[in-house]
Structure 1
Amino acid sequence: MPHDSSQPPAREHLHRVVVIVDENSNPFELGCATEVFGLRRPELGRDLYDFRLCSPQPRTAMRDGFFTLTGVTGLEAADDADTLIVPNRPDVEVPRRPAVLDAVRRAHARGARLVGFCSGAFTLAEAGVLDGRRATAHWQWADAFRVRFPSVHLEENVLFVDDGDILTAAGSAAALDLGLHVVRRDHGAEVANAVSRRLVFAAHRDGGQQQFIERPVPAVPDESLAPVLAWAQERLDVPLTVSDLAARAAVSPATLHRRFRAQLGTTPLAWLTRERVALACRLIERGESRFELVARNSGLGTAANLRASMRRATGLAPSAYRRRFGPGAG
């Protein structure tokens, strides 16, 4: 049958992200979800998601009555979500609405991806979908969470947990970390980096919540690692050792290790490997199919090391990563 050019082309199906907003929800995490999943992306030439808000009532008072949200669709929109972001709020002891918990259970039963920011882990746990699963929540509420939900494996000292179809972020700002991780999982490192640049936020922060738990401020804070990090990022394709980094920073290797641990929550070698894997991902996304060349230009050395490093970091072999995120994928 000939093509009817008078008919508009079918609109590409976009992954639908729906946020449930309930009484006393936190505005910051709602803003994070909107920034990551809801904004148009003219710099990419395409939209990434179909983003919607929904609420169980026509007027929703946000946290501490700062403002009232109106004009969003009803809770039935949650039934069409590919990814459902559950509500979070500071009053973790107050039970969630049964209608909200039912919507979460229905989404989980049909295979939707569930996301909880900060105290959103409490919503997921109340719905019963976290039993026997891994999750995280803000360190402030970790003890209370363990008492109420002993069957959930709470990981306290991380920024977020990706447990496949259920993902949780530890705190308010960690919502951005998790959101960018989801974009990276869905669209690859290059797109996630573009989104992070627009947010003026690191595409990947090392370390975990232990960085943010209250502790005495050192009398003399360590100097910033930014200059040595920038220097190393320009030389990922050449051999670099911890001694090289330490010499560039004009400190001993032991001091460099302490500064990396204190400021980034990781080791110099682990940071170098992560940066090299990220560069390898970008090279593959841009069309380089010769994996020996990708390994050499990213500083990973050999195709075997590239394969092992990418599997650890992304869960995908280079060939699988190319099929999913390379030119013409999707």
Structure 2
Amino acid sequence: MSEEAKSTEMKRVLVFGGKTGWIGNLMCELMEGEEKGVEVFRANSRIQNREAVAAELDEIKPTHVFNAAGITGRPNIDWCETHKPETIRTNVIGTLNLADLCLDRNIHCTVYATGCIFAYDEKHPEGSGIGFSEEDTPNFDGSFYSQTKGYMEPMLKEYSNCLILRVRMPISDDLIHRSFVTKILKYERVVNIPNSMTILTEMLPASLAMAKKGLTGVYNFTNPGVISHNEVLDLYTKIIDPTYTYNNFTLEEQSKILAAARSNNELDTTKLLRDMPDGIEINEIKKAYELCFERMKINLEKEHGGPVPDCLPKEFRRI
């Protein structure tokens, strides 16, 4: 399969997940603020409703579609363990519906997928620097959420119009509840395992540039390198809140309080960096995190009218 489709000028963009979704809304704001001459539409239809999606595509006639719709569960992926049909309808049927309908209409479709379909193994041991590539077969099915993504990706790869981006543990420059940082800040204990992660402020503009270039196929969509939970929280303590404290526990101890296992892995970003359009800067994950927390500090102080950590909401304080 070609990894660069015939480029089509980006004129009209339809974003699924743009009204209520986190990443979808961020993409809309990015394009509305920076892309002059591009009309941006937030989809009304739900991707599992094929007829409604077809009608909206025919009404809007987008040159590009971004699919950030999906079920991750509330408050976390454990929800998917007891809501399996609902998860399948969106994460598998809905995603394939949209890809299929876009292919029929010659529309480029960017899909924000997941890299949480792998787990460290003998060929990719933790700490080795050997990451899973885009050609590797998913080896993690410890959660139903990851199972649905693992089912879907091999089928989605057959659609020549699709750019499939494997996002992992996404982080934004604020403390929105969907961010990986916000989630682990609220835990009493965390595991300390290195992982590939996605800093959205850097990576979402990259996805826009990739779509404009007409890239297709699967890409590991994370900042290069890995960072551990402890390293993340230590940076948070250093830059945002020196009063914050945390404790660790083992994977075995973690498993006793979760309904489903969690994926831990390193993804190889060689292909991503090789094909990245000119002018896009993607920092190594530890540097990217440091820059993220520096932006977060500014944003928090501006939003709450005082210096951190005094201005932090009580839910983020441990003392």
So what's the TM-score if we normalise by structure 2?
A: 0.34
Higher relative contact order (CA 8 A, sep 6+): 2
**Larger helix share, 1 or 2:** 1
Larger radius of gyration: 1
